């Protein structure tokens, strides 16, 4: 996740918050890795950041986690 992703999410949130039926809309910036500058920008804009482990989400077997 980099600054471009935060900017794109900000534009989406601005657009969705224009609709009184949807507002207030909050965003979550989720990525496998988030660059420090992007995290700072997102948090300054009130956007929560979440780092995700895509392999764990897909259920990929990690042999390091097994005994045999």
- Give residue 45's pLDDT: 96
CA distances from 33 to 17, 24, 60, 63, 67 (A): 27, 27, 18, 22, 28
- Give residue 53's pLDDT: 87
11-15, 18-22, 64-68, range with the lowest pLDDT: 64-68
- Choose among 22, 30, 23, 26: nearest CA to 5: 30
State CA 62 to chain mean position distance: 24
- Give residue 59's pLDDT: 78
Tell me the H-state helices in 1-68: 3-17, 36-44, 54-58
Domain parsing of the chain, residue ranges: 3-55
Cα 8 to Cα 18: distance, rounded to the nearest angstrom: 16
- Give residue 5's pLDDT: 97
Q: What is the pLDDT of residues 36-58, one digit of tens each?
A: 999 999 999 999 999 998 878 88
């Amino acid at each position: 996740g980099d600054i471009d992703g935060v900017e794109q999410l900000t534009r989406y949130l601005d657009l969705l918050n224009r609709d009184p039926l949807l507002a207030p809309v909050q965003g979550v910036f989720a990525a496998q890795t988030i660059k420090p500058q992007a995290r700072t920008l997102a948090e300054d804009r009130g956007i929560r950041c979440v780092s995700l482990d895509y392999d764990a989400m897909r259920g990929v077997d990690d042999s390091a986690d097994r005994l045999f």
